[in-house]
Structure 1
Amino acid sequence: MLNRVLPVDIRALAWAPAGRDFSARFSCLHRTYHYYFPASGLALGRMDRAARLFEGTHDFRNLCKMDVANRVTNFRRTVLRARVEALPEAGPEPSGNRPAAYRMCRFEVRGLAFLYHQVRCMAAVLLLIGQGLEEPEVIDQLLDVDRNPRKPQYSMAVDYPLVLYNCAYENLEWVVDPDAQSFTVNQLHSMWTQHAIKTQILYSMLQGMGQAPSEEERGSGTDPLRGQAPSQDEASRLADRLMEGVRPRRYKRLLERELCEGLESRIRHYAKRGRIELPAAMRADGQEGGRPKEEEEEEDDAAPTLPHPPR
């Protein structure tokens, strides 16, 4: 009954009894995020090698939005797994028929907890690495907050490819309703059919514009648009569509850019306004503190996945 009154992209697949002290957010053992993107000529091997540098416990202040106003002053987080991989084709064309630029890939990251916009910032840097604009080693440099304590100014990746794929909990007995499963599968099939058809229509339009392989040759006279198609393959720049803002004509490397305001400066600003408590180390330097408040953790924004209940 619940699923029939929820929006089409929200479904309850299972439930579990829990104690009064249970919190869906703070009782979570670890979370897994997926970020999807087209291959688009990206160097996936470089991206995967760079993604693995995220693993371990690091200070991610240069790879998130520093939300000090909401009492977040500790940016050390633990990433358990980070990988970049190409996905098997699930589209309307048989595997191998669709050009490599349009094949879908995935950045998968699993961690104990995440900061605000952390995954989108991580994805943005990986996309720059995949385009050859940055070296994989820039990840180590961004994580070295002793040498680079201030975040370079860069745009994060857009939000719609980001999915909160799974949350793990301890000692929960999940009860699955077969009717809810069947109802959700039917709706997913319907949604997939609609989007797959729209995808094929758009791909056919690109073929007509000469931007995707087609049986018709450019300039054959059968379609006047093909003769006027740009000579540059637009598919090689699909990754640009996943970055917020406009890409500058001349690229400047991350560590050569203007820097954002430092963490200590932000802490002092909000402590003076009484929003947060000044850390003891900074009070020892003669700074005044504010009202003490419990630090809370900000999660990255993402759409929840549908097919799998949390385990």
Structure 2
Amino acid sequence: MEGAPPAKKMKTERQFDFSKCARRKVALMFAYLGWDYDGLVVQADSDNTIEEYIFHALEKTKLIESREACGWTRCGRTDKGVSAFRQVASLIVRSNLKEGPGVFWPEGTNAANWKETTQEIDFCQALNGVLPKEVRVLAWSVVPEDFSARFNCTQRVYKYFFARGQLNVDAMIAGSRLLIGEHDFRNFCRIDKNKARLETSYVRTIVNVTLEPSKWSCDTASGSSAYDMLELTVVGSSFLWHQIRCIVAVLLAIGSGRESPEVISQLLDINTHPRRPQYGMASETPLCLFDCSYDGVNLEWTWQPRALNATIVHLQKIWVDLQTKANMVRRMLGDLEELPGASGDSNGMTDYLYCGPPAKNYIPLLQRPTCDGLEDKREKRNAKQNGAPQTLLTESL
């Protein structure tokens, strides 16, 4: 058409040549606020997972050629809404170096094409530049070829944050101490029907449990301790599916006076109580996989100042936003609680921690109907495989 502007040529993306690059196996330490995400692990029916965004960032920055070939392993899975602080993953990434600790040239690559440099890629800065603001890579370390972020992890630390409210904290502490040691925790987790999980052991060791005021948050505006924040910290080598949230649910029942601390020991006695009572889990939002340890593996974390300080600024912005909203609501509560007729209770703080509305008439845990036990599920599975009629059992929560 006369006078029309010339058609723009579509810019084709230049293909990155991985054959000119060395590789290096590294561990990445990363943090995420998982409240608005569908969990850590890639899922077939959701693109809104932490790993999906991390893999996208790794591919966009050309740090990996494909997610299938990078050997990705992670310290632990976290479910929808759960956060993490010092989560660790291991993988093979592109390196700028020709040689050095952990640097290797895969078959099909050629060191002769290498452009001389002694400066390694700034992995943290590169990834954080394309990740969502709630996901930050904190540090990286070279690791041995056979290192696995999952199987080499010797200890995991979970934290659960909640308000004191009207909870009996001393009773909760007494109950939590009964969790320490090696126990069969089948009554404090969700038993999956997956074949591999039905065959697994539900014995785990909890090294330590503490419940104390949160270091960075306490309320002094009105002299009331109901608004003080608490941290439950649970340390162990490994954990079962939903184990922490089930533990918190039982501790909340103890703290509210509905159960005695001894109910922990009773639920751990699987000879007397082989099936879990039907109870709901605590909310996922306050839960955080806070740290993990690798005894026997020399991890020398590289903290890059530019990325570190940028992460601090990112988190400060998030903190200010949340703290501003929290203080606005706290100011409203302060005025309302001073009005005639205000009850002064803090039930809302405990109600928030339950998934779904709290029961009006509380039934003690050991008097409730039970879920299918581990043996029940195994029996169902075997009967299904053999084509035999299945015994009708209570369906698991």
CA distance in 1, matches of 2:223, 2:353: 20
In structure 2, what is the equivalent of residue 130 of structure 1? 255
1:145 pairs, out of 265, 270, 289, with 270
In structure 1, what is the equivalent of residue 361 of structure 2? 250
CA distance in 2, matches of 1:181, 1:97: 36
Q: 1:98 to 1:193 in 2, by over 3 A?
A: farther
Which residue type is aligned with residue 302 of structure 2?
A: V
Q: 1:165 to 1:248 in 2, by over 3 A?
A: same
The secondary structure found in structure 1 opposite 2:178 is helix
The secondary structure found in structure 2 opposite 1:15 is strand
In structure 2, what is the equivalent of residue 301 of structure 1? none
Listed as ranges, the matches of 1:202-221 within 5 Å are: 202-208=329-335, 210-211=336-337, 213=338, 218=339
Is 1:104 matched with 2:224?
A: no
1:84 pairs, out of 211, 214, 238, with 211
CA distance in 2, matches of 1:70, 1:232: 51
Is 1:31 matched with 2:156?
A: yes
Contact kept, 8 Å, 1:69 with 1:270, in 2: the verdict is no
CA distance in 2, matches of 1:258, 1:147: 15
CA displacement, residues 5-63 of structure 1 (integer Å, 9 cap, x when unaligned): 11111111111112332221221111000001100011111111111111100000000
Which residue type is aligned with residue 179 of structure 1?
A: R
Flag structure 1 segments of 5+ consecutive residues without an equivalent.
220-229, 275-286, 289-311
CA RMSD of aligned residues (A): 2.0
Deviation at 1:245, TM superposition (A): 2.1
Listed as ranges, the matches of 1:34-49 within 5 Å are: 34-49=159-174
1:9 pairs, out of 124, 134, 139, with 134
CA displacement, residues 196-237 of structure 1 (integer Å, 9 cap, x when unaligned): 1100111122234x23x5xxxx25xxxxxxxxxx64334144
Deviation at 1:77, TM superposition (A): 0.4
Q: 1:89 to 1:24 in 2, by over 3 A?
A: closer
Larger radius of gyration: 2
Displacement over 6 Å in runs of 4+ = none
Deviation at 1:96, TM superposition (A): 6.4
CA distance in 1, matches of 2:238, 2:215: 29
2:321 pairs, out of 190, 194, 205, with 194
Deviation at 1:99, TM superposition (A): 2.1
CA distance in 1, matches of 2:149, 2:249: 28
Flag structure 2 segments of 5+ consecutive residues without an equivalent.
1-125, 388-397
CA distance in 1, matches of 2:154, 2:211: 23
Q: 1:271 to 1:71 in 2, by over 3 A?
A: farther
In structure 1, what is the equivalent of residue 352 of structure 2? 241
Deviation at 1:273, TM superposition (A): 4.8
Q: 1:207 to 1:49 in 2, by over 3 A?
A: same
Deviation at 1:241, TM superposition (A): 1.4
Is 1:269 matched with 2:380?
A: yes
2:293 pairs, out of 168, 187, 211, with 168
Instruction: Give the aligned length.
Output: 258
Instruction: Judging by fraction of residues, say which structure has more helix.
Output: 1
CA distance in 2, matches of 1:264, 1:40: 39
Deviation at 1:146, TM superposition (A): 0.6
Which segment drifts farther, 98-107 or 265-274?
Answer: 265-274
TM-score, length of structure 2 as denominator length: 0.62
CA displacement, residues 253-279 of structure 1 (integer Å, 9 cap, x when unaligned): 1001011112111012234555xxxxx
CA distance in 2, matches of 1:98, 1:203: 13
CA distance in 2, matches of 1:40, 1:164: 24
Which residue type is aligned with residue 343 of structure 2?
A: Q
CA displacement, residues 267-293 of structure 1 (integer Å, 9 cap, x when unaligned): 12234555xxxxxxxxxxxx99xxxxx
Instruction: Judging by fraction of residues, say which structure has more strand.
Output: 2
In structure 1, what is the equivalent of residue 189 of structure 2? 64
Select the structure with the greater relative contact order (CA < 8 A; seq sep ≥ 6). 1
In structure 1, what is the equivalent of residue 30 of structure 2? none
In structure 1, what is the equivalent of residue 306 of structure 2? 179
CA distance in 2, matches of 1:12, 1:163: 16
CA distance in 1, matches of 2:206, 2:325: 36
Contact kept, 8 Å, 1:101 with 1:236, in 2: the verdict is no
